[in-house]
């Protein structure tokens, strides 16, 4: 069913299952709220960080379509999928319900490469402000925008050092705390220099960032005068603290990539590099050899199909060669990169757009493209696997449509589920003027249910 077909509203037969005795997640509102719009009470508690009681709520998703063509009901509870059965087979009494008729139910995507500290700065006048309250506001707004698109987990790269010190990191960590229960936000500490006299302060600050709560160690070896020394410092610190590594690199230097692969092979929980657009500019045999080396070392790649990020301080011309990397056995995730900042002033931060671009321009099938923003992205972030099966985490995205290819083409209306409850909803209504042709052909359309401008 296309996005222009009539949409089904949220529906719940009972009240009182939400936190504090109010309407539970996904319960319908009054007629004045319009079709498909849940009451504010459905969303109000997670913003305060009280996720525990909400996770205990049991939620029934009815009439959802899966990618294998089945129509099922799905019961959620305790932050996990409790049961999946044929439509109408799961008891519905005393449960909050969401009617997903006309929606495709998918594992929720995750965002493995965001820049919350610089997001939403492209339209500002004058220098970008790095005052803590401004950084926190931008990081929070960016994470909520990405949540609305379906990403229930975000990995945000945050610059540290220079004149701003650890201020941006503290601000993004504060945003993380304020978003608890809505989305999972983790941070990557990104120092500028780590070698020589100039890098001594950066290394000390990187250690402090990890102690503050940065979960991942990052950086841009390409920008350090000693890229190998930079990598040595990062890997040593990561091994000391048991942190994963997520590095920026253009990937246009095969010798540097070979050293990175050789040095990274033994690190657990692992190394991710990206966006690696420079690999596409190398001769095919050279790029293939580099991909084989990355695969042998277990190094993952995060590509950015929607555009570059500003961290490398240059604009890449092409996306990483995803098909070549996958053929070599490299696990490839796709991220959004810049969200309306200097790296991409029109960036959307939408994982489904990244998947669409991989399918339309990267040569991947629709399922492979979606895997890059969901299964592979979660794997790169060290998150548990999600399937629409009993026992798996209730991190889900329902998108208006009946097939994955159609969803990637027209992914307008979305319902986002995090830790077993609805945390975001986007509803699109398309209207046309009166047309005798549309009536004669009985084409799907939507109209207003009540007069309006």
CB of 393 within 8 A of CB of 79? Answer: yes
Q: Does residue 76 or residue 429 have the better pLDDT?
A: 76
One DSSP character per residue, 294-330 reads: HHHHT-EEEE-TT---GGGSS--SS---HHHHHHTT-
Distance CA 337, CA 146 (A): 12
Arithmetic mean of pLDDT, 284-312: 92
User: Where does CATH 2.30.40.10 sit in the chain?
Assistant: 19-107+387-426
pLDDT digits (tens, 9 = 90+) for 13-49: 333 333 233 333 333 333 333 333 333 334 434 333 4
Q: Please state, in angstroms and rounded to a whole number, the distance separating the CA atoms of residues 434 and 453.
A: 15
Strands 71-77 vs 111-114: parallel, antiparallel or unpaired: unpaired
Strand extents, DSSP E, 229-377: 245-249, 271-275, 300-303, 332-334
CATH classification of 19-107+387-426, choosing from 1.10.3720.10, 3.30.70.270, 2.30.40.10, 3.40.50.300?
2.30.40.10
pLDDT at position 34, please? Answer: 35
* pLDDT average, residue stretch 197-202: 91
Separation between Cα atoms, residue 354 and residue 257, nearest integer Å: 25
| Residue with the two structure tokens 């398309």 | 430
* Residue 140 tokens, joined: 């929070």
Q: What is the pLDDT of residues 369-380, one digit of tens each?
A: 999 999 999 999
% of the chain surpassing 70 pLDDT: 83
Q: d(Cα 296, Cα 391) in Å, to the nearest integer?
A: 32
pLDDT digits (tens, 9 = 90+) for 370-428: 999 999 999 999 999 999 999 999 999 999 999 999 999 988 899 999 999 999 999 99
pLDDT by residue (tens digit) across 222-255?
A: 999 999 999 999 999 999 999 999 999 999 999 9
Cis preceding-peptide flag for 418 (omega within 30 of 0):
no
Minimum mean pLDDT range among 36-40, 133-137, 162-166, 219-223: 36-40
Residues of the chain with CATH 3.20.20.140: 111-380
pLDDT of residue 313: 57
What mean pLDDT is predicted for residues 283-304?
97
**Mean per-residue pLDDT of the chain:** 85
8 A C-beta contact, residue 337 and residue 369:
no
Q: What is the pLDDT of residue 444?
A: 64
The token duo for 107 is: 């594992």
CATH fold label, 111-380: TIM Barrel (3.20.20)
Say what the pTM is.
0.85
pLDDT reading at 187 higher than 90: yes
Tokens found for residue 47: 């913003």
Least confident of 94-98, 238-242, 324-328, 415-419: 94-98
């Amino acid at each position: 069913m296309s996005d222009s077909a009539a949409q089904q509203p949220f529906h719940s037969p009972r009240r009182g299952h939400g936190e504090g005795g109010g309407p539970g997640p996904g319960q319908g509102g009054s007629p004045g709220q319009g079709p498909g719009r849940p009451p504010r009470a459905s969303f109000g508690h997670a913003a305060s960080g009280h996720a525990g009681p909400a996770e205990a709520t049991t939620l029934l998703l009815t009439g959802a379509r899966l990618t294998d063509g089945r129509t099922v009901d799905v019961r959620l509870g305790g932050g996990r999928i409790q049961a999946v059965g044929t439509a109408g087979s799961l008891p519905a009494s005393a449960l909050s319900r969401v009617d997903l008729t006309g929606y495709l139910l998918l594992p929720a995507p995750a965002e493995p490469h965001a820049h919350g500290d610089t997001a939403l700065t492209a339209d500002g006048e004058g220098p970008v402000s790095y005052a803590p309250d401004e950084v926190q506001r931008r990081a929070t707004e960016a994470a909520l925008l990405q949540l609305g698109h379906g990403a229930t987990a975000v990995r945000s790269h945050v610059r540290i050092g220079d004149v701003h010190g650890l201020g941006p990191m503290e601000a993004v960590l504060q945003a993380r705390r304020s978003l608890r229960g809505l989305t999972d936000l983790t941070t990557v500490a990104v120092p500028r220099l780590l070698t020589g006299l100039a890098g001594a302060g950066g290394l000390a600050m990187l250690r402090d960032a990890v102690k503050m709560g940065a979960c991942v160690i990052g950086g841009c070896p390409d920008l350090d005068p000693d890229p190998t020394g930079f990598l040595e410092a990062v890997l040593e610190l990561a091994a000391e603290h048991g942190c994963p590594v997520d590095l920026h690199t253009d990937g246009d230097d095969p010798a540097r990539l070979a050293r990175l692969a050789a040095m990274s092979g033994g690190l657990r929980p692992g190394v991710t590099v990206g966006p690696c657009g420079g690999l596409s500019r190398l001769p095919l045999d050279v790029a293939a050899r580099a991909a084989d080396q990355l695969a042998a070392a277990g190094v993952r790649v995060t590509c950015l199909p929607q555009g570059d990020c500003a961290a490398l301080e240059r604009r890449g011309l092409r996306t990483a060669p995803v098909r070549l990397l996958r053929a070599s056995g490299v696990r490839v995730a796709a991220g959004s990169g810049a969200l309306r900042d200097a790296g991409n002033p029109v960036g959307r931060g939408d994982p489904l757009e990244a998947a669409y671009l991989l399918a339309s321009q990267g040569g991947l099938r629709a399922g492979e493209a979606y895997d890059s923003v969901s299964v592979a992205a979660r794997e790169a972030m060290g998150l548990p696997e999600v399937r629409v099966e009993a026992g798996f985490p209730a991190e889900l995205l329902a998108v208006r449509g009946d097939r994955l290819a159609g969803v990637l083409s027209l992914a307008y209306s979305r319902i986002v589920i995090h830790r077993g409850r609805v945390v975001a909803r986007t509803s699109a209504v398309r209207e046309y003027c009166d047309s005798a042709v549309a009536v004669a052909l009985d084409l799907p359309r939507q109209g207003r249910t009540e007069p309006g401008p």
